[in-house]
Amino acid sequence: MKKVATVWPWLAAICSGLLCTLCFPPFDQSWFCWFALAPLIAAVWFSGENSKRRWLRNLLLGYLAGIVFFTATFSWLGSLGVLFLNFWLRGLSLLLAVYLGAYFAFWGWFIGLIASRNFLASWRNLLMAFLAASAWTAHEWVRGWLFGGFGWNGLGVSLHSTWPLIQIAEFTGVIGLSFVVAFANIIAVTTPVRLYLEAKTRQVRPHFDLTLTLAGLVGLLAFGLYSVQNRAPTEPLRVAAVQADVPQHEKFDPEFSAQIFERFQRLSEIALHSNLPPALLIWPESSMPDPVRDPATESNDFVTEFSASSKTDLLLGTLDVENGKDYNAAVLISGATQEMQVYWKVHLVPFGEYIPLRHSFPLFAAVAKEWVPGDFVKGERYTLFRPTNADAQIAPLICFEDTIGDLTRQFVIRGANLLVNLTNDAWFLHSAGSQQHLTNAIFRCVETRRPMARAANTGVTCFVNQFGRVTQVLRDETGSTFTEGVLTGEIKVPTEHELTFYTRHGELFAKVCAAIAVLAILIAGFLRWQKL
């Protein structure tokens, strides 16, 4: 019996990590999110009473849950090990989890700090839920920007397909949904404990904590239904997005250049020769093997000839070189004038597009050079693209930029009314990485009330409306998104440039939650100091 009492908290922490994993692709069982943290909460609150350093135990319980979650949910990073034939890269998700697990550890410690011994008072349970949800929101926000940031798969993201509930993101950002989920998890633990204590003492009281939580969720659903019925004026834009499905090892190999050109030519002509040709043709990130703006390259010859003959605006991702510096870029070529508009990627992916402190740690740089031979330089401007024959201003989001709320809103503040993501998820083969990429990107549409067109080299090429609903997806006859093809359709572009609360104020909700969490820590520390 003693052994069970010792082991169960650690098993509960592992259980929370696994339940959180099931909320995201490839499993996508979002309903688990409402109680995924409950085992960890129970382990922190109801075990280790006699532990000499209970705070450290709570920290380790949270860390274990985080290690399990981040290792499992980001297991698709191991695809890089297959791609580069490197055994050590297959454990990349575990290496990342060693760092990211610290955020769960903080929360495990925090809920132990604010734990109450009195679960019979509704106001105490609501206060604990509010503080715990604030701390959860704070650590997700910090995770999104600290050390370059990797904010994927916050708890709120698991609700991506529950479109009536996610509309609150136009005020709080997706992190507001994480607050709601964490709040509900605390109530999911306090309610059965309270029922047990009431049955034991035979003293039943009104459960305002549970009632108000359920009423809040109903209110969010009602707001979401109201939001989607009150649509802003829009104008249709005919768009075609090409998914060439070029294997990663072929993309920059000169031997495959002719095949790549032929594939883009063939797929694009399917859209251009349709009954309703597109006003905007989109090719994915790094679509061409050479810098398109360099007149000496084959890619420049192919793209300029194609654009001139098609007379359709072409938006594509390409490598770019200027003044000896390399950029990951997007280029819009006007079909009428052949004028080129250029955007250089603002947010680079650490260890993917550059090696942090490469010159400070030569030994590490020498090892990492195998898969990141050189560093891209980040752009400094949030450049908007203006197509020729459409009243649209395009935010060209490259790669994972569509998963960053604060970056996307900078484009919208400057006037963007259409988000376009150019990405290359071929790095992660046929893993869940591309599906997770989409689930995180969906919230940029809700936060800014702007639609999105996504053109992937492979993965998920699709259109998303301003309410976060995927309206069209490119699939083959088996239903797989890992295919070549072209997706054509109409995107409803807003004609009014009204800005949402989130667009104007950014992560204000998250910052307020962080301040509340810090204040709670200071007050709890002061009260404990007074007892000494």
Say whether both 286 and 313 belong to one domain: yes
Of 389, 449, 387, 461, nearest to 424 by C-alpha is 461
Would you say residue 59 lies in a domain? yes
Domain for residue 159, yes or no?
A: yes
Rounded distance between C-alpha atoms, residue 289 and residue 157, angstroms: 34
DSSP one-letter code for 354: B
User: What is the reported pTM?
Assistant: 0.94
| pLDDT string in tens for the chain (532-residue length) | 555 668 999 999 999 999 999 999 999 999 999 999 999 999 999 998 888 899 999 999 999 999 999 999 999 999 988 888 788 788 989 999 999 999 999 999 999 999 988 898 899 999 999 999 999 999 999 999 998 889 999 999 999 999 999 999 999 999 999 999 999 999 999 999 999 988 888 888 888 999 999 999 999 999 999 999 888 899 999 999 999 999 998 988 899 999 999 999 999 999 999 889 999 999 999 999 999 999 999 999 999 999 999 989 999 999 999 999 999 999 999 988 889 999 999 999 887 788 776 665 565 566 566 666 678 999 999 999 999 987 899 999 999 999 999 999 999 999 999 999 999 998 898 999 999 999 999 999 999 999 999 999 999 999 999 999 999 999 999 999 999 999 999 999 999 989 999 999 999 999 999 999 999 999 988 887 777 5
Residues 165 and 202 in one domain: yes
pLDDT digits (tens, 9 = 90+) for 191-246: 999 999 888 888 888 889 999 999 999 999 999 999 998 888 999 999 999 999 99
**Three-state secondary structure string covering 172-186:** HCCHHHHHHHHHHHH
Whether 503 is covered by a domain: the verdict is no
Q: What is the model's pLDDT at position 411?
A: 98
Are the CB atoms for 246 and 426 separated by under 8 Å?
yes
Same domain for 342 and 404, yes or no, is yes
At 407, phi and psi to the nearest 5?
A: -70, -45
Q: Is residue 353 in a domain?
A: no
- Phi first, then psi, for residue 480 (nearest 5°) are -80, 145
Co-location of 193 and 307 in the same domain: no
Q: Do both 334 and 453 map to the same domain? A: yes
- Same domain membership, residue 217 and residue 70: yes
N residues, the chain = 532
Contact in structure between 506 and 406 (CB atoms under 8 Å):
yes
Structural domains of the chain, count:
2
Instruction: Flag whether 375 is in a domain.
Output: no
CA–CA separation, 145 and 242 (whole Å): 32
Same domain, 335 and 464: yes
Looking at residue 206, what is its pLDDT?
85
Has residue 467 been placed in a domain?
Answer: yes
> What is the DSSP-derived secondary structure letter of residue 310?
H
Residues 6+ apart with CB under 8 A from 485: 242, 243, 267, 461, 474, 476
Indicate if 224 and 246 belong to the same structural domain: no
Structure token digits, residue 125: 């349970």
Contacts of residue 280, defined as CB under 8 A and 6 or more positions apart, other chains included, come to 237, 238, 239, 240, 312, 313, 315, 387, 390, 392
Q: What pLDDT score does 177 carry?
A: 98
Q: CA-to-CA distance for 432 and 455, rounded, in angstroms?
A: 17
136/8 Cα distance (integer angstroms): 24
Residues 260 and 249 sit within 8 Å (Cβ to Cβ): no
Domain of residue 90 covers 2-230+508-531
Q: What is the distance between the alpha carbons of residues 376 and 320, in angstroms, rounded to a whole number?
A: 10
Q: Is residue 376 part of a domain?
A: no
Residues 282 and 331 in one domain: yes
In a domain, 359, yes or no: no
Q: Which CATH number do you get for residue 244? A: 3.60.110.10
Whether 213 and 200 share a structural domain = yes
If asked whether residues 18 and 59 sit together in one domain, one would say yes
Asked if residue 255 and residue 210 are part of one domain, the reply reads: no
Query: pLDDT at position 362, please?
Result: 65
